[in-house]
Amino acid sequence: MIRRLLGSLLVITVLSIFCTGCWDYREINLMSIVSGAAVDKTPDGKYKLSIEIIDLKGGGKEAPVHSKKLESYGDSVFDAIRNSIKISSQKLYWGHAEIIIISKDVAKEGILPIIDFLSRDAEPRLSIDILISNEDTAEKILDSQSISTEIRTYEINKMLDDQKKLSKSPKVEIYQFINALGDEGISAVLPVVGLTQNSGEATSQLAGTAVFKQDKLQYMFDEDDTKYYLFVMDKIKGGLLVVNKTQNSSNAGNFTLDIDSNKTYVKPVYSKGKLSFEISIKTKTTLGEIDDNKIKFTSQSEIEKLEKQAQTVLKQNVERVIKAVQSGYDIDIFGFGLKVKQDMPELWKKIKPDWDDLFKNVQVKANAEVRIKHAGLLSNPIMMGD
């Protein structure tokens, strides 16, 4: 007993003496916490990383925490990250990085090396968000003015998180991107970030969706189309549905619905050797705003009229977006192929080689069912007595 105890104490002490303070022990205040980074390429083909690090110097009790930008060059992404030691004494710490912004040019050449580094290294998280910049360099995004926090990339991350109230930009974490890359019958998309003017200063904004073929950027579409894309993908958690009366004069006026919940089913149908898809969208909404004062919400038929109008708008837009993607490019961002694979594996084995051609011409029928569950606090529109 005594011998064993002494022996173990000896082992522990000797080990501790030899080992303490080395290996993986690292102090946080001796590291630079990376909040996000932007990847560009210089004309001579080198990677240029603009890394946003959290500046703790003035931080603490009174002042808000600011961020600093570190620019570093290298032949590979990893090389560029390591080269940052040349200009800053502290090692970068990637465990809290939330955002990687990749410039259009880099994305067109393929973002595989970046994805690979981020998922291979143990520090960055698997839930890190990747965005594509639609400015000429990604660095500009980091230079823009931030509004709600002092740290640019955290604000963009928060913007992405809050998309569930807006639904105008996809949120793609790195593991989801890897899944979309790896799965058959679906192409990957990433959110796009760009610049806009706010009170005279450039600030960043989310600006739609970037479409990839494998790891190479093909094209982008804007945020309104993104919303209908998200409808097809069943990723709508909230957001608005704005209905204008322009289509038909017998309709009610302009009104805006707040989406409470949505469920979309995509069903591949194979009949008579012809593949088609049926999309049924079921949305529950709240009336948020209306400019027509003739509608009586106490009457069920009036509400149904609004619902029908919204359904038409939704259906038309979804079909429009799908048509545009089909005709413009042969990239199946909706995962129709994957649906076939999941629901009709035998059919998929047959059509897989020429799915790209098939996708262009496949018939898609959308069906929308919009329900207005609430109408806010007002039972009737505001009256206007002449």
Residues of this chain that interact with other proteins (CB under 8 A) are 1-2, 4-5, 8, 11-12, 15-16, 19-29, 31, 33, 54, 56-57, 59-60, 65, 93, 95-96, 98, 119, 122-123, 125-127, 154, 173, 175-176, 178-179, 181-183, 341-343, 345, 348
Q: Which is nearer to other proteins, 45 or 182 (CB)?
A: 182
Rank residues 60 and 385 by Cβ distance to other proteins and give the closer one: 60
Based on CB atoms, which residue is closest to other proteins, 349 or 373? 349
Residue whose CB is less far from other proteins, 122 or 384: 122
For the CB of residue 184, give the shortest distance to other proteins in the complex, in Å: 10
Is residue 187 within 8 A of residue 177, CB to CB? The reply is no
- Taking the complex as a whole, how short is the minimal distance between the CB of residue 276 and other proteins, in angstroms? 19
**Please, what sign has the CA dihedral across residues 282, 288, 290, 295?**
positive
Q: What's the chain's Rg over C-alpha atoms?
A: 26
Nearer to other proteins by C-beta: 73 or 93? Answer: 93
Q: Cβ 329 to other proteins, closest distance in Å?
A: 22
Q: How far is the CB of 20 from other proteins (least distance, A)?
A: 6
Q: How far is the CB of 331 from other proteins (least distance, A)?
A: 18
Shortest CB 95 distance to other proteins, Å = 3
Q: What six digits make up the tokens of 210? A: 């970037």
Indicate the residue among 43 and 182 with the shorter CB distance to other proteins.
Answer: 182
Phi/psi of residue 53, nearest 5 degrees? -115, 155
Instruction: Give the pairing of strands 274-290 and 216-221.
Output: unpaired
